[in-house]
Structure 1
Amino acid sequence: MEILFSPSEGKLKDFQGIGQQIDFAKGFALSFSERSKIIMKYLELLESGDDKEICKLFGVKSLDKYLDELALCSSILKSPTIQAIRLYDGVAYKALAFDILDERSREYILQNVWIFSNLFGAIKACDLIPFYKFNQNYSNKFLGIKALYQSMQEVLDTYFEDKKQILDLRAEVYVKAYMLKQPHCVIEFLKSGKKVSHYAKYYRGIFLQEMAKNQISNLCDIEQLVFEDIYLKDIVSKGEQTRFIYEIKMKF
């Protein structure tokens, strides 16, 4: 099972590191030649002293409150690392609650989930990465989601070419950055018949949690999942994509 997941802007800054040096060639489950060049361009921008451009990169109005984060990002090659699934702490990751899952469920996530990061490209949940800050809307000639996944496209195409069980839980921006060519499933959440966006992050986390708890290895078994606040409304297939459409029952 291959489960594609989005990163989050929110990340842990203070954690007990379990690695010290990024190994561009061997430190990731999936390697591609451009990764080191992209990270070097990222560091060059941080070292440029161009506060306005760094603010755009971080997605903030001023660096005054982010000097500690700037220092961490500037030393990214030597910073402590942590499993990717534990670094992120945005809405989806809080809903997933990885650290309170049982060992079997955590192992399922570590082995099956791919996180489409803004800086490192597609990484496994178990890959070790340091803290970084990179707004998903930032782009220049060398940096940005579009440029990153264009450079990684051939590697990703080759990897996913013969995979039969792919569930895409990514947000739209990452779907557009790298579009799957193989048959795959996506999950769509509706409230009162309308597609939701922000709350979709939360329910993607809940959905992944249930996938892990139930050890789903075949996409046909998704229909068997039972949730407290959502129910399966419809299944629609078009081309290479099958959509599982869920209606949110709770009020918000």
Structure 2
Amino acid sequence: MKIIISPAKNMKPAQSETIPRSLPAYLSHTQEIIEVLRTYSPMDLEILMRINPSLALDAADRIQTMKFDQNGTAAIETYDGIQYKYMKPLTFSDSDKEYAQKTIRILSGAYGILKPYDSIYEYRLEMLTKLNVAGTKNLYEYWSDLLYQDLTASDDRIVNLASEEYAKCIRKYVKAPVRFLTCSFKVRKNGVYKTLATAAKMARGQMVHYIITNRISDFEKLKEFDTDGYFYEPSLSSDSEFVFLQR
């Protein structure tokens, strides 16, 4: 079983002394992307990435200083978004880290696909960025089905805990016998259960933590997830989507 998650826009150097265990699988692709980005000025990046001048300057600096070696920081401890905070990777034991390395895959516009303890450097590049690389019109086209082929090379079960921006990189290629299962989380608001972006990110992080620390390898076991008052609701679920409601 493989878990797919999104990267985070915010990044920071890892706060622990965890040493990266591996290099990203598609570094040559990353280098090709970065070489294209290095031709962009901060003003160009501001337009391309639809960000403010300050963020564009930061993005340009990261692009120009990007490295591709083992001396970066562990991916799962470098991303600094809500999902990662609730995933709590800094609390993982050594055996948790081993299971995470086998199970979690982080999808990335720059790196394609990452194991949690791959060595990475800070960058800013969303998958939906319309960057032309090697004759392709955007990053979805550039990565094509490569990420799906990587995920399914040794496993035919994927748990989707990524945002739609990244999940569709995989979903569009799924075919039998691969099973692609999305976990959705809804909270009650004004008497109605809804999917709220922040709450969903928190719950997706908690689900990753649950899977890793409990060594979950069976889809059915996911139904036992009960962190923060969530419970599996069979009437809203299907073979392709498990829905969890919060009490």
- Same fold by TM-score greater than 0.5: yes
How does 1:21-36 map onto structure 2 within 5 Å? 27-28=23-24, 30-31=25-26, 34-36=29-31
**Are 2:110 and 1:132 aligned?**
no
How does 1:154-233 map onto structure 2 within 5 Å? 154-159=145-150, 160=152, 163-179=155-171, 180-181=173-174, 182-192=178-188, 193-233=193-233
Deviation at 1:167, TM superposition (A): 0.6
Q: Deviations over 1:36-91 (max 9, x none)?
A: 3222112222xxx3x3322245553223x764553233110268511111110110
Deviation at 1:126, TM superposition (A): 1.9
Q: Does the CA contact (< 8 Å) of 1:149 and 1:178 recur in 2?
A: no
Equivalence for 2:100? 109
Deviation at 1:135, TM superposition (A): 4.2
Deviation at 1:13, TM superposition (A): 4.4
Would the alpha carbon gap of residues 243 and 124 (structure 1) be closer, same or farther in structure 2, given more than 3 Å must change?
same
Further displaced range: 100-109 or 124-133: 100-109
Q: Distance in 2 between matches of 1:27 and 1:161?
A: 18
Q: Deviations over 1:106-154 (max 9, x none)?
A: 22212211101121111111211111122455323339x9833333334
Q: Distance in 1 between matches of 2:2 and 2:49?
A: 30
Q: Distance in 1 between matches of 2:143 and 2:164?
A: 18
TM-score (norm 2): 0.81
Q: Does the CA contact (< 8 Å) of 1:34 and 1:151 recur in 2?
A: no
Equivalence for 2:110? 119
Would the alpha carbon gap of residues 13 and 161 (structure 1) be closer, same or farther in structure 2, given more than 3 Å must change?
closer
Deviation at 1:97, TM superposition (A): 1.0
Deviation at 1:245, TM superposition (A): 0.3
Would the alpha carbon gap of residues 134 and 155 (structure 1) be closer, same or farther in structure 2, given more than 3 Å must change?
closer
Alignment identity in percent? Answer: 20
Q: Does the CA contact (< 8 Å) of 2:130 and 2:139 recur in 1?
A: no
Q: Distance in 2 between matches of 1:198 and 1:161?
A: 33
Q: Which runs of 5+ in 2 are unaligned?
A: none
The alignment's C-alpha RMSD in Å is 2.9
Q: Distance in 2 between matches of 1:172 and 1:178?
A: 10
Q: Does the CA contact (< 8 Å) of 2:108 and 2:127 recur in 1?
A: no
Further displaced range: 166-175 or 35-44: 35-44
Q: Distance in 1 between matches of 2:149 and 2:127?
A: 25
Q: Which residue type is aligned with residue 43 of structure 2?
A: K
Match of 2:46 among 34, 42, 55: 55
Q: Distance in 2 between matches of 1:53 and 1:222?
A: 44
TM-score (norm 1): 0.79
Deviation at 1:204, TM superposition (A): 0.5
Q: Does the CA contact (< 8 Å) of 1:41 and 1:142 recur in 2?
A: yes
Q: Does the CA contact (< 8 Å) of 2:107 and 2:114 recur in 1?
A: yes
Equivalence for 1:81? 72
Q: Which runs of 5+ in 1 are unaligned?
A: 20-25
Q: Does the CA contact (< 8 Å) of 2:127 and 2:140 recur in 1?
A: no
Would the alpha carbon gap of residues 18 and 57 (structure 1) be closer, same or farther in structure 2, given more than 3 Å must change?
farther
Q: Deviations over 1:133-184 (max 9, x none)?
A: 22455323339x9833333334334331662321111101112233250212
Equivalence for 1:236? 237
Q: Distance in 2 between matches of 1:210 and 1:191?
A: 19
